Structure formats: C-alpha cells, structure tokens
Structure 1
Amino acid sequence: MSLRPSLSTIPTCYATVSIGTPSDPLDTKLAAIASAGFQGIELGFPDLLNWARRYHGEEINDHDWTALSSAAEDVRSMCSAKKLKVVMLQPFGNFEGWAQGSKERGDAFERARGWVQIMRALGCDLLQVGSTDSPDINTSPEVLASDLRELADLLAENNFRLAYENWCWSTHAPDWKDVWALVQKVDRPNVGLCLDTFQTAGGEWADPTTESGLIEDVEGREALEKRFHDSLDSLSKTIPADKIYILQISDAYIPPKPLDRNPDESGLRPRGRWSSSLRPVPFDGGYLPVVDVTKAILKTGFRGWFSMEVFDGGPEGSNQDWVDLPGYTKKAMLSHQRLLNEAAETGI
C-alpha cells in the first residue's frame, strides 16, 4: 500500500509496551518493530525495568536510577544498531497536584529527576506526562500548572520537552481541551501535547459502561456525532501544529459486557480498565472514529510522529498469547498506512 505524497514523510513510531508483555525481552521487541519498518520507539518504563534486570543479572528497584540509566545506555546502543530513534519515554503518571510536603509530591519529583537521568542515557528528549488520575490531588488549575511548570523547567535544563496527554479517565483533565488549557497556563516553550486517538474518541464519543459502547447523555446518535465533530473542528482550529509533539494511535473494542461505572478495587475508573487491554490497531475489530480524529489533527498542520500505542487483549480483553511479534508489528504498519490514506481522502 503506497502513501499519498502529501503525508509520505510523516515519521512512524511504535510503543514498546504495545507488543508482547513486559517479560518479553526488549531486544526481541525492537527487532520486531524495526523489521516492520518503524523509524522510532516510545520506550515504556516497564520494558526498561525488565531489560535492566536482564542486563545486570539481578533484581533492580524501579527507583535505582544508576542501574536503570546504565541499562538505558545499552538500549540506546541496541536502537542505534537497528536505526530506531528513541522518541519518547513513557508513561510518567500521577505527577501533578499533590500537596506541598506530602510523600506523594516528594516521590513525584524524585521520579522526575530520575527519569531525566534515564533520558540523558537514552539520548531521548521527550517525556510523556499523563494527566493525573488519582482522586486525592488538588485540582486547582493554578496548582496543576505550577507543578507542570516546575517539571518543564527541570526538563529545560537538559533541552528536554514535556508532552502532556489527557487520559480520558483522569481526575482533572480527561479531554484535549483540558490539557490544552493547562499547557497554555504553564506557558513554557518546551511544553506541548501528546494527543491520542483513543483518549479523544474514547472520552468524548464512546463509553465502555453502556450497551451501545457510546455516550448516552445526549438525545440520540445525531446529537452525539454533532457534539463530537464540533469538538474535533475546534481542535483543528485551536491548537498550533508546533504544540503537538506526538500523536498516539489505537482503536478500541466494545467491551464484551458493559463495564461497571464504579472504580475497581485499585481505584481505576472504567475507561482506565478499558484502556488496559481492549485497544487494537485501527481497522482490526475496533469501533472508534479514529480516522475522524486523525483528520482533525492533520488539519492543524501537524506532520510529526505518528505512534502506535495499543493494548490488544483481543475482543474479550483476556488474550495474552503473543506468539508472532513481527507479524503483529507488520499488521500495525499496514494499519498506519491505511489510516493515513483514509485520512487524506479529503485532500489534507
């Protein structure tokens, strides 16, 4: 499948957490990603931690920044040998909003300094930050922006950037408008957005707790579609292309039965549970309007990294039998190419 010339230079990326499991060796994952023709990776912290344990031949704590950084140097070498760029380190979550002097805030900033050390070792300049989903934070925009500004300044000391993502089950910023408002409030040149087809459509159009899989708080499908497409139109006209640092791509299956609306025993909300294992590549059994979201983002002028970030447990969400890693990444590349072609049909 050949890409339309106007979109043929968009670089392609693949999240390492989106193939196999964290126990699968990272070098095997990298080989599969490279063989499918992807140009870069998002390095998932669980994969780095697992590789550090293999690399050092012993148990490594997730706050052992020295051991993790030396393993990251090895990852950098492996990626270089396969001509893969380490585009982003992820997922950095539950950072902003903690009370001054709290142990949670102390840990958040310790992790920030540790992850910066890892990024230096990786040769990676982009950190993904997901909007906090803890219920125990201060949701004042001033507090949230202040925390993110402090993180941005820490990153800027190393010429690093912060890609802020709306998690559609977040406590304070589930939609693109929410994170964009905070990015503007932070007002730092190294802070932009990590947009995501699942987070956008999964929050504003779909609902895993209903039989239909759609949001049902509006009067009919037509009203839902209008509201959603008005939001996408606003996105395309509001966000400057240079403030979008990366686009993550995935679809979603309708859950086999509606999810409970209440948080689970760990406190995870239904959209968070849905996200963890029911996210295939586009055009492979999902139902989200991924093409529409992609069109809106391309209309901003964005032509940066398109990254596959999927969590595919099959339509039942329980299939963990990853056998053909190269086969899956090749399927993801074909999906990427089809997505660009379908998004370009309107002449973008």
Structure 2
Amino acid sequence: MSTSVATVCLSGGLVEKLHACAAAGFDGVEIMDADLVAAPESPEEIRALCARLGLRIDMFQPFRDFEGVDEAALAANLRRAAAKFDVMERLGTDLMLLCSNVATATTGDDDTLVAHLRAIADLAAERGIRIAYEALAWGAYVDDYREAWRLVELADRDNLGVCLDSFHILSRGFDPEAIERIPGEKIFFLQLADAPALEMDVLQWSRHHRLFPGEGDFDLTGFLGHVLRAGYAGPLSLEVFNDTFRQTDVVRTAAHARRSLTWLADRTAAENGWDADRIIAPQPAREVDFVEIAGANLHEFDQMLGQLGFAFRGGHRSKPVRLWTAGSARVILNEQLRHESPRLTGIGVAVGDAAAAAERAAQLGAAPVYRRTYRGEVELRAVASPDGTEVYWNDRPAEDSWVREFIGGAHEASLSGAIDHVNVSYPWEEFDEAVLFMSSVVGLEAESAADVPGPRGLVRSQVMTTPDAVIRLPMNLAPPTAPVPDRHAAVRVDDAVAVARAARARGLRFLPVPANYYDDVAARFSLDADTLGTLRELDLLYDRDADGEFVHFYTPTIGGVFLEIVERRGNYDGYGAPNAPVRLSAQRQLATPTP
C-alpha cells in the first residue's frame, strides 16, 4: 500500500506539514496550491525538502473553474494553467487535479466541455504533465463521477484521467459500483474522506465536516473495494477538510491520519479476502483486567475503596503502587506518576495473546509504553493512546500474573464485583482521534452516539464496546467551552442496595441526589413506596426499559475521578442515560464554591 495525504488536512505552515507527514510514515503528499502560495520557501526548496524527507509529491491541487466558459475566459484559463504548470515543473510533480467548474461555467454542452478538456490536456502534454479530472459534488454541470469519466473518455487523451473522491461520490448517494467499469489506468488518483451522516448543504458539509476513515458513516471499505477491483494501483490519499484538524497539533494529526489509512486498507482487504495490506487481527477481550488511577496522594481513594468493601491486596514489591480488589474488579493506585490531581490513566485488558495485541498496535502506529520491570516481575505490553491514557494487555490469569507482585495485604473482600464499564472523556479536539484509536488499536466497535444534557451544554456520549460487551467504554465529548467531564470506573454488583447500605455504615457518603429527582422517578415508573423510599434514603438512581432495570450510585469525586456502583437486572444493557443530567448537575454544584 502506498499512502499520501493532502496538506490541507493539517495545521501549520507547509514545511511543518511536510515534516509531520514524513514522521507519520506517509509515502507522498498532495501539495495544496494555497499552502504553497503562503509559504516563504520556493518550489525548488519544497521539492528538495520532500526529497530529504523521503516524500513523493504525488499531485498539485486544485485547478478550479476551467471548462464550460466562453472563448475569452478559456484563453485566460489556459494562460493560468500554463503558469501553474511552470510551478509544477519546479516542484517536480507531473499530476494536476482539475475540479469540475463551479463558479464560471456557462454551458454544460458536451462538445464544449470535451473541447476544453482536450485543450488543457494537450497543453499539459507538451510539459509531460497529466490531468486528473474530478467531479465536485456541487459542480455547476458536472457533479457525478460517472459524468466526469464519460467526458474524459470522449476527450480521449492519454494524459487525461479521473480523480475519484469518496466524499463527492458518497455524499450524493451515487452508487460506486460503476467505478469498476473505469479502466484502472484511467483512474489517475484517489482521495479518501469519511463523514458523519448529516442533512445540510453539501459544500458546507464538505468544507467543515469531513473525517478520517473509520470516524464517520460512509461505507469506505465498500468504496475502496470497488476502486481496487477496477485496477487502480496508485496511492491511497486523504483529503479531509475539517475545522478541528486544522487547529490541532500537526504531528499528532498526521499520525492519526496515517493510522486511519492502515485501518481502512486492512478492513477492505479482510472484506474482500485479500492478503495484501492485512495486519494482525484484534485480540478478543476476555475482561477488563484492571483500571489504574494515578496521582501524587491517593490516600482518599484507599479510604473510599475500603468503605465500598474492596480488599486491600498490598503494595507492589518494587514500585509505589497499591492494589485493591473486589471479585474480578481490580483498581491500581499509582503514586509513581506524579500528577497533581488524581486521574484515571490506564486500562488493562485480558486477552488470549498479548504479544499479538501489541504487534497490531505497533502496525497502527501506537506509541509503546515502557515501565521499569525487575527480575521475576511480569512485563505487561502496553501502548499510549493519543491523549496519554495507557492500554495494557495481559494474557495470563490475573492471580497467576502481576497480582502476585503485591504483598502485605488481605485476600478477602466483602464486595464481589467486576468492572462493568470505564467512562472516559475528551475535549472537542481529541474526540474523533480517540474513537479511531479505540476502534482500530483496541478493536472496539462504536454504538450509536447520544447527546446528554448537562449544566454547560450537551455532552455527546459515544459507547465503544466489544460485540459481547465484555469491554464497555463510554466516551464523552465535552462542549467546546465547558470543562472536560471527570472520568470514572463502574463496578457491577449483584445487589447495589446492599452495597450502598454497607458502605454507608462504613461512613461513605455518596453523590447527593435532589429530592426533585425522586418525584420524577415516581411519575415515570410505577414503584412501590418502599422501593422509592430506599432509593431516596441511599441516594440511589434508577432506570428501567423493556429489558430490565438499572440501580446505581456514585461516589464523591476525588481530583478528576469517581467510582460508580451498578446493578443490572434482567437484560438491561444501557447506562442510566436519563440520570446523567442529574449526576452532572450534582457534581457541578459540589465543585462550585458557595458564594
């Protein structure tokens, strides 16, 4: 697989973008005309830099508003094209992207359009340059890739072909199957972008809301399959216009972009039974092995876990790390990572083959994590997600693995539970990147997203999970002007009421729930007075659907972390979403100083 990326996808100046593309492992780039115009470096300097970085310049783009004009405008456009061909020769690239006319075309007459395409192709041929004609989804007369190919075929020039762009094709709902009827050698270039399913003006959709493959709703694996079956042998290139990516760190975004192409090529090959471009399959998860909370002083967590009924299993024999367990729920408190405020920093996943999981992560460009390990200690394979959250893989039973390295504690817990889900949160600029990382590297699948009302606006919640729900990872996107929500781990138990009573008896106070909430519960659900009274007494929250019931409560927040105790009754599969606004509001009130 050969890869490329349009410089428009990234933030910064052209030189910064090129360095980031090379660092991410791209083979080539599309140089955006606007990026070159704004660069202080000459085309020769950009060409030399790309050569030093090992980057091809695959295409110069775009050339706009050319065909379907009157004779005077055509002459001016050919002069403009000749000037850009001069620039291309200085850059050392032989392919130009010609977009279908949007603004200046006065006719869609076949004879006129074909004559104009021949004119620019013949002018380009004198310079050894090829033209890739692309149908823009909002083109004045040519807005369908099939029409663009028909005109190219009529023009009949060896150096004239088509550029296929997934956004322009899939956003309009055009059937990509006809791509397979285009000769592969006449598909001069391929541009890929994903996007969310939106009902809006297609130009605004394209300019602001494209995403990298794997982050939106387009069937890009099906699309790419058609292109490759047609015989296309050029680079897979990304052209993603997105307001977020043009503001985020250029190195990180380039790595994110490159990961998306590896994921897409692998998925496409798998769907078509091809061996090329395959990477190691994701390892099925068996359970959440542990969650890690790190901070400078975690004694409040020791107290809270003890009040909940966890057993203290001791300190690590060589590190300032402690372990608390309740059944298969394991919480690591790590004071060697000196965060000022406690944070949920790591998630362990039990798998069948940790080495294979780590190798897949490496193939997807994930950064490995190394921690000091002494003789006789288990070395857990791990990678850092883009925001720094670490993912560990363990292929040995916990009791025969790293758990044995903790000494000096008890071995019995009054609480028996399991990690039900781990709730993580991100600022707006990191969310799409995090979703792609969890789907590609960890092998999770995205469920439908939902919006949760909060005191500072809507919080978007995207649940990532394994097919059997062994791993559940709700991911929350904070509104742009709001602080990022705190993270938490949820422990599933058989009897949340009994756990709450016992924890209360040990002195733990839960997140307070307003009386108005229970008035609403009484109105929505037919609960008997005793059940409703128990909920009120213990600050428990309740939800019910056609499949079952959900009872849960929250601990106070310490730093940026809190815990949740959940009980699932019947086949309830949700997360108590109707209760989230109550929780968010209560947490905000506790965090806001009293005037």
Match of residue 176 from structure 2: 232
Match of residue 32 from structure 1: 20
Secondary structure class of the residue paired with 1:312:
coil
Match of residue 119 from structure 1: 88
Structure 1 pair 273–135 and aligned structure 2 pair: CA distance change class (3 A): farther
Structure 1 pair 288–137 and aligned structure 2 pair: CA distance change class (3 A): same
Match of residue 435 from structure 2: none
Secondary structure class of the residue paired with 1:275:
helix
Query: Contact 1:167 / 1:175 at 8 angstroms: preserved in 2?
Result: yes
CA deviation after TM superposition for structure 1 residue 336, in Å:
0.3
Distance 1:273 1:300 in 2: 31
The one-letter code of the counterpart of 2:54 is K
Q: Which residues of 2 match residues 74-153 of structure 1 at below 5 A?
A: 74-101=45-72, 104-134=73-103, 136-153=105-122
CA RMSD of aligned residues (A): 1.5
- Map Cα deviations across residues 63-96 of structure 1 (whole Å, 9 max, x no partner): xxxxxxxx11111011111111111100111110
- Map Cα deviations across residues 133-169 of structure 1 (whole Å, 9 max, x no partner): 1264211011011011010011100111000111111
Distance 1:95 1:135 in 2: 8
The one-letter code of the counterpart of 1:27 is V
The TM-score with structure 2 as length reference comes to 0.45
CA deviation after TM superposition for structure 1 residue 46, in Å:
0.5
Match of residue 169 from structure 1: 138
The one-letter code of the counterpart of 2:66 is F
CA deviation after TM superposition for structure 1 residue 303, in Å:
2.0
**Is structure 2 residue 270 aligned with structure 1 residue 339?**
no
Query: Contact 2:10 / 2:245 at 8 angstroms: preserved in 1?
Result: no
CA deviation after TM superposition for structure 1 residue 321, in Å:
6.3
Match of residue 265 from structure 1: none
Query: Contact 1:31 / 1:82 at 8 angstroms: preserved in 2?
Result: yes
Q: Which residues of 2 match residues 290-305 of structure 1 at below 5 A?
A: 290-305=220-235
**Is structure 2 residue 176 aligned with structure 1 residue 246?**
no
Distance 1:241 1:105 in 2: 30
Counterpart pick for 2:10 among 10, 19, 32: 19
Match of residue 277 from structure 1: 208
**Is structure 2 residue 150 aligned with structure 1 residue 192?**
no
Percent of counterpart pairs with the same letter? 32
* Runs (4+) off by over 4 Å: none
Distance 2:27 2:246 in 1: 26
Structure with the higher helix share, 1 or 2: 1
Structure 1 pair 338–320 and aligned structure 2 pair: CA distance change class (3 A): closer
Structure with the higher strand share, 1 or 2: 2
Q: Return 5+ residue gaps in structure 1 as ranges.
A: 1-9, 56-70, 206-227, 260-269, 314-318
Aligned length: 273
- Map Cα deviations across residues 193-212 of structure 1 (whole Å, 9 max, x no partner): 11111111112x2xxxxxxx
Match of residue 581 from structure 2: none
Query: Contact 2:212 / 2:260 at 8 angstroms: preserved in 1?
Result: yes
Q: Which has the larger radius of gyration?
A: 2
Query: Contact 1:252 / 1:279 at 8 angstroms: preserved in 2?
Result: yes
CA deviation after TM superposition for structure 1 residue 111, in Å:
1.4
CA deviation after TM superposition for structure 1 residue 320, in Å:
6.7
The one-letter code of the counterpart of 1:188 is R
The one-letter code of the counterpart of 1:347 is G
Structure 1 pair 321–108 and aligned structure 2 pair: CA distance change class (3 A): closer
Query: Contact 1:245 / 1:305 at 8 angstroms: preserved in 2?
Result: no
- Map Cα deviations across residues 272-318 of structure 1 (whole Å, 9 max, x no partner): 2211111110112x1111111111111112121111110122xxxxx
Distance 1:154 1:179 in 2: 19
The TM-score with structure 1 as length reference comes to 0.75
Q: Which residues of 2 match residues 304-323 of structure 1 at below 5 A?
A: 304-313=234-243, 319=244, 322-323=247-248
